[in-house]
Structure 1
Amino acid sequence: MKTLAKQLKWQFILLQKNNIISISIIVTLIYGLLLFFLRSSTYIDKVLVSLILNDPTVIGYFFIALAIYTEMKHQILPAIFVTPVKTHHYILSKTLALSVIGLFCSLGLVISIKGFAFNFVAFSIGALGISILAVLLGIMVLAYSDDFLKFALLSFPVFLPIVNLPLLHYLNGIDLGFIIQLFPIQGGLNLIADSLNPNINLSWVSILSLLIWIPIFYVGSYRFFTSKIIHQQS
């Protein structure tokens, strides 16, 4: 745990040096301005949920790829893995660092519109869960990309369906019926949407969904990372 804490500290330092924290704040501010101008809209809650869903997923998915690709490009990654740093600590520290940033940015968006009239616990679990899933998904896709452009191209058939289909269902653009509950981020999306009603109870089904999908994504990201990325860099 002490080693993980040290790695987590360094990940925040690296993210700041690579301007990823600054970019995350700028993206959140842009979303915040959009919400400000739409605050009188009848559908402000749906707009808010849509932007909150996109904010942590973009931060987690694309920025984990950018961070790791930068380390690969500058030959930092091979140097890391000749040190005693464990792969689990490396993946967990990066995942937690970006997920915490995604959570705080999401909280900034909801507080800017709702103040504190929302269910903080439900919202935090949902936003954090979505952030973690997005980071781990990014690592899996990055394993099949040797540059950031290829990663972006591979994202269309992977990232967009996983994130946008649940969003379209939420916006009543399509009706996927019960099958939508099987999507990885649906539990987090349900928690975020429900949290806008401060009196609502926690959805244990949604929490269970995240507790099932996050370990699955973690095992997948670890295996892809060790078999593809580390192997290519060694």
Structure 2
Amino acid sequence: MKTLFKMVIWDLKIQARNQIITVALIIAAIYTAIFFLLGLRGNDKILIALIFSDPTFMGFIFTGVLVLFEKSSNTLQALVVTPVKSWQYFYSKAISLTIISLIVCFAMIFASHGFHFNYFYFLSATFLSSLLFIFLGFIGVAKIKTFNQYIIVIPLFIAPFSLPYLNFFGLTNSPWLYLFPTQASFFLFEGSFGKITSFEIIYSFGYIILAIGVAHYFADRLFKKYIIRGE
């Protein structure tokens, strides 16, 4: 655990050096500015939609960017001959990027909504959504060699998981969209500002944790096979 802790600190320093934290904060500031300029204060639907996009889009994209950067600098190949285990590298990225996402999302909600909301549901929604899309990012980047290739992959992953926006904004009321774990994320974010039913609580936590477990399984296998061993 001591090694993992040191790696998380190191990853946060690398992300700060590569301006990833700066970019994340700038995006959050832009979202917040748009929210105020359009006079949307009090519109929790729009606020949730903006906040939700941070752990999803940023988690997925930043994971790929970091892995591709370290591929090009041969950092990943060095893991084979160092005491650092692949799982430590894997979880270090997941933890450090989740920390950034939590900081950014809480900054956005404090600035746009204030301090009166359900912290447990908001923290859970942000944390679980971040983990899910970070693991999906590892899956998406596993066989990719360049950022140009990754740009093509991004919408292939993000688009399907964005479909629950339709239910969220009342454009549809399809139970089929419950198959996407991001529907669970929306329920938890909505629970941060209002009521959430017992079914929604059980479904949200159960399903998104299951989805994280499945994503983690495939991310770990692909990470070891294509990124570490370079097959």
> Post-superposition shift, 1:106?
1.0
Tell me what 2:33 maps to. Answer: 33
Measured against aligned partners, the alpha-carbon deviations of 1:58-96 in whole angstroms (never above 9, x if no partner) come to 221101111111111122221233211111111111011
How far apart are the structure 2 equivalents of 1:169 and 1:184?
13
Match of 2:93 in 1: 94
Give the corresponding residue for 2:187. Answer: 190
Q: Flag the 1:17–1:41 CA change in 2: closer, same or farther, 3 A.
A: closer
Superposition TM-score, scaled by structure 2 size = 0.92
- For 1:172, the equivalent position in structure 2 comes to 170
Moved more, 75-84 or 139-148: 75-84
How many residue pairs were aligned?
229
TM-score (norm 1): 0.91
Check whether the contact 1:133–1:185 (CA below 8 A) recurs between aligned residues.
no
CA RMSD of aligned residues (A): 1.8
- Equivalent position of 2:225 in the other structure: 227
Q: Which moved more, 1:71-80 or 1:113-122?
A: 71-80
Shift of 1:40: 4.2
Identity over aligned pairs, percent? 29
For the 8 Å contact 1:119–1:200, the answer to whether it is kept is no
Paired residue for 1:120?
119
- Say whether 1:211 aligns with 2:225: no
Please show how residues 74-93 of structure 1 align to structure 2 within 5 Å. 74-93=73-92
The 2-side partners of 1:4 and 1:169 are apart by 39
**Take 1:41 and 1:131, find their aligned partners in 2: how far apart are those partners?**
25
TM-superposed CA distance for 1:200, in Å, is 5.5
Show CA shifts across 1:88-118 (max 9, x none): 1111110111011111111111111221111
Partner amino acid, structure 2, of 1:167: Y
| 8 Å CA contact 1:184, 1:210 repeated in 2 | yes
Unaligned runs of 5+ in 2: none
* C-alpha contact 1:52 1:109 (8 A) present in aligned 2: yes
Indicate if the aligned counterparts of 2:32 and 2:111 stay in contact, CA closer than 8 A.
yes
- Find the aligned partners of 1:158 and 1:113 in 2 and give their Cα distance: 29
Within 2, Cα distance between the matches of 1:165 and 1:207? 19
- The answer for the alignment partner of 1:129 in structure 2 is 128
Would the aligned equivalents of 1:130 and 1:188 in 2 still touch at CA under 8 Å?
yes
Where does residue 9 of structure 1 map in the other structure? 9
**Residue by residue, what CA displacement relative to the aligned partner does 1:111-155 show, whole Å, maximum 9, x if unpaired?**
112211110110010011111111111110101211111111022
Once the 2 structures are TM-superposed, how far is the Cα of residue 194 of structure 1 from its aligned partner? Answer: 1.6
Shift of 1:38: 3.0
Q: Which runs of 5+ in 1 are unaligned?
A: none
The 5 Å alignment of 1:95-110 reads 95-110=94-109
Q: Provide the C-alpha distance between the structure 2 equivalents of 1:145 and 1:191, rounded to a whole number of angstroms.
A: 33
Give the 3-state SS of the residue equivalent to 1:165 in structure 2: coil
Q: SS of the counterpart of 1:49?
A: helix
